[in-house]
Amino acid sequence: MSKGIKFAVVGFERSGKTRLISHINDVLVVSTDNKAFTGKVPHYRYSEYNGMDDFVSTLEEKVGAYEAKMGKPPKTIVIDSITHLTNNMEKYCNEKFRGFDVYKNLGKDILELNSFLESIAESGINVVFTAHTQYDADTMTYKIHSSGSFGKNGSWLSVVDEAVYIELKGSKRIVHFKTAKFSCRTLHDELPDHIEIDKFDINEHIALLEKSNEEAEEWSL
């Protein structure tokens, strides 16, 4: 079985991240935002973090429910959004710990979360997450916020090879693949710097990334 992809959809609030991921085929969405998820795809809300064991067991339970209903496991799991999830993790750690132990345990949980998402990809299921950005005036770039050393070392952009950034430009939404000031990246030289969102098919893009994974695994020793 080929390894699943890890892919990020990044942008400011109201940029269209949730709408875009709602078009993914065979998906299970974990909605961590503090509002109702309105996409017409299988999903569940996880707006209150209660430790990694609870997060993992809840996701495993919902994957089982998805498989029972659909007759097959999800092809892609989406975390919408990883930013709200880590904010809720920080709130949990602030309530449970004191002083230095807050960020010590927050860092531990973030690393465990990334390791868990990697294990999902290793099992053959794609992992997609949305992430919010903040403008960094010092570097004049848009960065994914995350606390502690994880944030200082590249945050969630550092754990994926592929990420798109949705820019809200007037009435248009632009999907960026390579534009330096945005939190996006790709290994695909054939992709343009950016395209209008109406011309971007997220399922075709995921298929491109899956094909690249398969080709890379042929060279694995």
pLDDT in tens, 9-40: 999 888 899 999 999 999 999 999 878 888 89
Nearest to 136 by CA among 156, 152, 159: 152
Nearest to 113 by CA among 71, 84, 136, 133: 84
pLDDT at position 219 is 82
pLDDT at position 148 is 65
Task: Sketch out the chain's domains with CATH numbers.
Answer: 6-216 (3.40.50.300)
pLDDT at position 196 is 96
pLDDT at position 152 is 67
Residue 44 has, within 13 A of its CA and on its CB side, a CA count of: 14
Alpha helices per DSSP H over 33-155: 52-70, 82-96, 100-122, 148-152
**Three-class DSSP category at 204:** helix
Q: Is the peptide bond before 155 cis (omega within 30 degrees of 0)?
A: no
pLDDT at position 1 is 62
pLDDT at position 53 is 96
pLDDT in tens, 54-70: 999 999 999 999 999 99
